[in-house]
Homo-oligomer: A and B are copies of this chain.
């Protein structure tokens, strides 16, 4: 009706405080800065964010709806441990959905997206050589989601995000071990990544699916292995939180 908005002049990072709190918490989760079993508190997080509890409440509500956190009435909020059955559930759906996403990505991917993915892959590799946990997890997320975004399905993307939110904290301890003690295994995962990217570049959907699925299954095996060696199957060692 009116003249349309003037030529894009400012993306303006407008964000309500609750969105910001949500983003911060989610980032802390998927980069392994909050470990399974950790308990949080509304007021505690609010203080670290410098806000009142209101924005934190909405952020926690959202993460709780996404199954990433569990709020225990009057007893705090915690990042749940996964039982064996729950872990199996997460892994099997990751295989299914991330495989599907890679297959779809192979069908739709453009040269520009491939280029971006390769850059992110290199960045991930560099982080891996440095050996620091959080950067590796962050760049790994960036790399994978760049691929999944090429699948052109916002809903599929959202579901994968949901699965990863549950899965990543569960893997963190194992990834740390991998970086420290098993460069061979980590190197193998680079090879897998390269194979996946090649399949994408060839627009070979079934192969892309297969590569991703075997990659996830290998990771699952490794995580299970580390967990069994480190004691109880369900409880990888906790991670101290750097910031919320």
Contacts and interface: CB of A to CB of B under 8 A. Distances in A.
Interface residues of A, number: 27
Given A58-B57, A61-B62, A62-B62, A153 B89 contact: yes
A230 interface: no
A133 B166 CA distance: 37
A100 B97 CA distance: 11
Interface string A136-164: 00000000000000000111101100110
Nearest to A104: B92
Nearest to A159: B159
Interface stretch (A65-73, A107-115, A232-240): A65-73
Contacts of A18: 61
Contacts of A89: 153-156
A96 interface: yes
Given A16-B73, A65-B62, A65-B65, A90 B155 contact: yes
A93 interface: yes
Interface in A64-103: 64-67, 73, 86, 89-90, 92-93, 96, 100
A92 B153 contact: yes
Interface string A155-184: 110110011001000000000000000000
22 contacts: A16-B73, A18-B61, A57-B58, A58-B61, A61-B61, A61-B65, A62-B62, A62-B65, A65-B66, A67-B155, A86-B154, A89-B153, A89-B154, A89-B155, A89-B156, A92-B153, A93-B153, A93-B156, A96-B100, A155-B162, A155-B163, A159-B159
